[in-house]
Amino acid sequence: MEEIIITSKFSIFNNTEELPEGIQKLFKKAITAQKNAYAPYSKFRVGVAIALDNGEIILGTNQENAAYPSGLCAERVALYQAASNFPNSKIETIIITASSEKTNTASPITPCGSCRQSIAEYEAKQESPIAIYFMGEIGKIYKSESLKNLLPLIFNKKLL
């Protein structure tokens, strides 16, 4: 038997004021977008802001549906919108924010497994990492330089 050890590296910020000005602006956009989430069932609102290399900012919110699992996460709403409208642009940064009407989200909210796989697809397509920042409603902000920190054993087209 062999064992491997996989490590992940994250930068942790205490608040948005510690972030570069451009990232602070993206957080404000993601937090504002959160208010447009359609979350009548979970009461859990997610807002995403994606910065593209062409200067465009794409927003996304979670969209729930009574016929679960027909809804879609905020990350994939924004990713697919970016790819549809700007197919030749690279994704530089993804900001993920979340809040709940039931409790304070004090831990950073990471993308779900399906969203991680979707982000991995775009990192592979563009052959460059995507910086991902995520936070809850309150508390610390985490930054990953690449999706590989969140999904180290990525399934991609090279395996097909």
Instruction: Show which residues are catalytic.
Output: 75
Give the CA-trace dihedral at 99, 101, 103, 104, to 10 degrees.
30
Residue 113 is inside which H or E element, if any? helix 113-126
The owner of tokens 């690279």 is 90
Residue type for position 56: E
Q: Distance between CA 156 and CA 160 in Å, rounded?
A: 7
| CA within 13 Å, CB half, 59 | 17
Residue whose C-alpha is closest to residue 47's, from 56, 55, 15, 57: 57
